[in-house]
């Protein structure tokens, strides 16, 4: 897969923004003592919204690869390294790739010229749902079968309600930012379909 210089620049900028957001905006673990509040879901759907499905997803892939090779860009300890895949929350990190792709895909199908807040919000909500679709099974598996903590599905749903509420707020915020940026920077529209 080939990338143009402009595409590599956009992916690099979004990856850098994700890394900075993860390092600066760290919040305390809430659910099961391991799941922190984070701005990364916002950044993931924003990547898809602003860069389109392909480049948005690649920006998240690059972010994850940076962390896995040992660069301390992840939001929680150990902050980097391959051992991070053993964390129950790593599934949510993988879900960011799906979130960027889904949100970007929905926006690209609608067309940027007539992008309303409802459509943009719908795209961001779908992106957030993708994070949970990947993250929750991974979390359940790691908690129950790797860490040996007996966690039921009902306990997980109850524990994640505060996260879901905040992620819905993040989705609306990402929708507003995406609409503003795509209108203000028409050159970003070319990232779609590239």
- What is the full DSSP assignment across 18-70? HHHHHHHS---EEETTTEE--SHHHHHHHHHHHHHHHHHHHHHHHHHHHHHTT
Dihedral, CA of residue 15, residue 131, residue 78 and residue 162, to nearest 10: 120
Topology of domain 5-191, CATH? Arp2/3 complex 21 kDa subunit ARPC3 (1.10.1760)
Q: Where are the domains of the chain?
A: 5-191
pLDDT attached to residue 53: 96
Peptide bond into 78 cis (omega under 30): yes
CA gap 166, 27 in Å, rounded? 13
Cβ 75 vs Cβ 30: under 8 Å: no
pLDDT attached to residue 114: 64
CA gap 141, 159 in Å, rounded? 16
pLDDT attached to residue 194: 45
Which runs of consecutive H residues, i.e. helices, occur in the chain?
Answer: 5-24, 40-68, 90-110, 117-141, 153-184
CA gap 163, 179 in Å, rounded? 24
Closest C-alpha to 138, from 38, 46, 35: 35
Positions in the chain short of pLDDT 50:
193-194
């Amino acid at each position: 897969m080939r990338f143009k210089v402009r595409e590599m620049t956009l992916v690099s900028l979004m990856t850098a923004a994700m890394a900075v957001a993860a390092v600066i905006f760290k919040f305390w673990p809430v659910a099961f003592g391991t799941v922190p509040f984070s701005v990364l879901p916002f950044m993931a759907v924003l990547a898809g919204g602003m860069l389109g499905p392909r480049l948005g997803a690649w920006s998240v892939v690059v972010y994850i690869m940076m962390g896995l090779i040992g660069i301390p860009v992840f939001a929680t300890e150990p902050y980097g390294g391959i051992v991070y895949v053993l964390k129950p929350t790593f599934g949510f990190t993988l879900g960011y790739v799906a979130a960027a792709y889904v949100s970007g895909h929905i926006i690209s199908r609608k067309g940027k010229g007539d992008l309303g807040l409802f459509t943009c919000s719908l795209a961001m909500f779908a992106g957030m749902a993708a994070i949970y679709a990947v993250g929750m099974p991974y979390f359940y598996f790691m908690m129950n079968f790797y860490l040996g903590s007996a966690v039921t599905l009902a306990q997980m749903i109850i524990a994640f309600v505060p996260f879901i509420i905040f992620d819905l707020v993040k989705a609306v915020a990402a929708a507003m930012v995406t609409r503003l940026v795509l209108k203000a920077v028409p050159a970003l529209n070319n990232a779609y379909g590239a």
